[in-house]
């Protein structure tokens, strides 16, 4: 069982999963876009209940956090607006931060998918420190000195396309 958040980066993962030959997987999401577009007969899709934020294209709020807290995930895939070695992942919205923190609490493994352009961005709400993530995956455009800074801060850094992540 995996969780995929409502970010555009994680939506790309959902698209790849929908095109894969994966069987016997349960996918939980708080993304109306993923729910509307996902089509794969071997994957059982569950959509978290809650309040739909039309601007963010996500389902969040107290109902969502409570629902997710009652589940167990092998792996959760999350993202954020920004990442720094010092502050970790951050976002501008409280309801996003609450969902992401909540899902980490019921996941055996938390994987952050972060575009390299988000490096150095620190937004209003801290989500998780880089050392609280099981894996941080970034694209290959992240310069070596920034990779080193994240690793020095405790991140288990993987570069997309250079390794495989097990999902349970």
- pLDDT digits 0-9 by tens, 116-143: 999 999 999 999 999 999 999 999 999 9
pLDDT of res. 163: 57
Average pLDDT estimate for 44-63? 94
Average pLDDT estimate for 27-53? 94
- pLDDT beyond 60 at 156: yes
- pLDDT beyond 70 at 168: no
pTM (predicted TM-score): 0.93
Percent of the chain with pLDDT over 70: 96
**pLDDT, tens digit, for every residue of 96-117?**
999 999 999 999 999 999 999 9
141: left (phi over 0), alpha (psi -120 to 50) or beta: alpha
- pLDDT beyond 80 at 159: yes
Q: How far apart are CA 147 and CA 100, in angstroms?
A: 23
**Virtual torsion, Cα 20, 22, 28, 29, nearest 10 deg:** -10
Chain position carrying tokens 């970010």: 7
* 153 or 37, greater pLDDT: 153
Average pLDDT estimate for 59-73? 97
- Sign of the torsion formed by the C-alpha atoms of 15, 13, 100 and 110: positive
- pLDDT beyond 60 at 165: no
Contact 31, 58 (CB under 8 A): yes
- pLDDT beyond 80 at 150: yes
- Residue closest to 140 by CA, chosen among 120, 122, 119, 155: 119
- pLDDT beyond 50 at 167: no
């Amino acid at each position: 069982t995996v969780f995929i958040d409502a970010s555009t980066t994680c939506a790309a993962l959902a698209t790849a999963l929908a095109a894969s030959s994966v069987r016997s997987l349960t996918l939980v999401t708080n993304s109306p876009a993923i729910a509307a577009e996902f089509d794969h007969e071997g994957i059982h899709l569950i959509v978290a209940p809650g309040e739909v934020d039309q601007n963010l294209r996500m389902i969040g709020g107290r109902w969502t956090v409570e629902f997710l807290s009652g589940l167990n995930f092998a792996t959760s895939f999350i993202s954020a607006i920004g990442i720094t070695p010092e502050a970790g992942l951050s976002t501008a919205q409280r309801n996003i931060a609450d969902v992401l923190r909540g899902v980490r609490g019921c996941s055996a493994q938390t994987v952050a998918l972060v575009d390299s352009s988000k490096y150095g961005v620190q937004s209003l709400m801290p989500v998780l420190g880089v050392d609280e993530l099981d894996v941080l995956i970034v694209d290959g455009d992240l310069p070596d000195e920034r990779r080193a800074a994240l690793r020095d801060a405790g991140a288990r850094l993987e570069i997309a396309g250079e390794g495989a992540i097990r999902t349970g």
